[in-house]
Structure 1
């Protein structure tokens, strides 16, 4: 989810859907109108507001169009490029399917995505080139919280991307300590989580405290905000942040192999400081 951009100028089509990801309630959430608009060769996904929930360049459907979506892939810096093919990825919240398609079709990694509303999946397959499931892609119609709390999924993921905003885009719909502890548990040792937050919102400090309680502040880093205010937070399990020279070497490989702006990620990456008086440690 991204701050509003200039309004696209061409046609729009609509469908009914909820916000990205899941809510804590087991009741059926009210559906928001999903508006699909196009402008300057880019197709956008909205939820009845100017907020951009996802984007796709029509002639390059696998390209990561939005800056914050590119930064969500910064977890790659913490994975050895030589063993990347073994990385099991999970996305919570489908959005316009940009990360899901990239992990599946470009990086060719085992990819699972969890989306609460089946109509979101339908819209992505109809308008955003989300392919059918295959031996590497699994699209789950389900609740994100239930998925990470399912005991059968413990330790099943190496790279977890969390981008769970609804149509109001006020704060993540799953954002408390229990949720992030479940995210920690679903990661295998050496696993990395990336989370999209808004650095200019009051909810940012609350989110930071919750992530620190689950992962430990020494296992967190952040990228500087995008111009729109999106802050991508990285948190990891069972590893140490590699030295800067290793991150730079990996960034060179990522940039040359997949044309990702990885060298910029290293420059934007910094240690994380939470507003807590002490740094909680995770409980297995």
Structure 2
């Protein structure tokens, strides 16, 4: 059965749907390089955690959607080589036609295939792995399993970071976080869920991440100046949720 792609526009925002009301990606037409959806912004908090991965050189994105994360990194991380794995050719075609996905084979490699299989068969390591893959029924399938998270960990560089978009609409995301917890030996932190029901979990390899909220905010100010992305509200929400004991983010 082929995937039903639906493109809509409202109030200057173009959205991608897989034959349902569920938004699979969005782009503000006047600012195509900016991140529109809150959860995509939160996934970029990973750029603040470590000095070594402030400018990741090798990035793997699983799930293309409207290419928001891909375009943001392409524009703002000029030294990064990006690999995007998307299982549906129609999504890639839609991203090119409607969401300004750039064509630059030297810096941006698009792979049509299964994300879990790609990682399992890869001989590469990555500084940043972003997981955001769902079907029309908002199911992540193999991308939310213990074996997958174990394979992702094995393909992170020494200071590598994984950020994964989890959904908490139906069953909640606690079981997903537990799977990541097992795969990464407890090195995981889930942010409080957004209003949309998305929750972003981060997991790391190598040395522990230990940074104060104040230092994160300083880094966020620099990131905002460089890219226009404002993560200060995210960090305030994290602080208010008391996720970081003693004002320290530790993973």
Using structure 1 for the length normalisation, give the TM-score.
Answer: 0.79
Name the CA distance, whole Å, in 2 between partners of 1:179 and 1:66.
26
List gaps (5 residues or longer) in structure 1: 1-29, 273-284
Name the CA distance, whole Å, in 1 between partners of 2:97 and 2:195.
31
- Aligned partner of 1:220 in structure 2 is 188
List gaps (5 residues or longer) in structure 2: 246-251
**Offset of residue 206 of structure 1:** 1.9
Name the CA distance, whole Å, in 2 between partners of 1:224 and 1:256.
25
Q: Where in structure 2 are the equivalents of 1:95-244 lying within 5 Å? A: 95-108=65-78, 109-153=80-124, 156-169=125-138, 171-173=139-141, 174-217=143-186, 219-244=187-212
Asked if the contact 1:220–1:271 (Cα under 8 Å) also holds between the matched residues in 2, the reply is no
- Aligned partner of 2:248 in structure 1 is none
**Offset of residue 59 of structure 1:** 1.5
Asked if the contact 2:156–2:205 (Cα under 8 Å) also holds between the matched residues in 1, the reply is yes
Name the CA distance, whole Å, in 1 between partners of 2:24 and 2:2.
15
Name the CA distance, whole Å, in 2 between partners of 1:222 and 1:242.
15
Q: 1:151 to 1:49 in 2, by over 3 A?
A: closer
What is the aligned length?
238
Moved more, 35-44 or 237-246: 237-246
Asked if the contact 2:47–2:55 (Cα under 8 Å) also holds between the matched residues in 1, the reply is no
**Offset of residue 208 of structure 1:** 1.2
Asked if the contact 1:91–1:114 (Cα under 8 Å) also holds between the matched residues in 2, the reply is yes
Q: 1:116 to 1:246 in 2, by over 3 A?
A: same
Name the CA distance, whole Å, in 1 between partners of 2:166 and 2:16.
19
Cα RMSD (Å) of the superposition? 1.8
Name the CA distance, whole Å, in 1 between partners of 2:62 and 2:120.
13
Asked if the contact 1:35–1:47 (Cα under 8 Å) also holds between the matched residues in 2, the reply is yes
List 4+ stretches of structure 1 deviating above 3 A. Answer: 83-86
**Offset of residue 262 of structure 1:** 2.2
Q: What does the per-residue CA deviation read over 1:105-129, in whole Å, with 9 as the maximum and x for residues that have no partner?
A: 2222211100011221111111110
Q: What SS does structure 1 have at the residue aligned with 2:123?
A: helix
**Offset of residue 203 of structure 1:** 4.9
Asked if the contact 1:62–1:106 (Cα under 8 Å) also holds between the matched residues in 2, the reply is no
Name the CA distance, whole Å, in 1 between partners of 2:17 and 2:59.
25
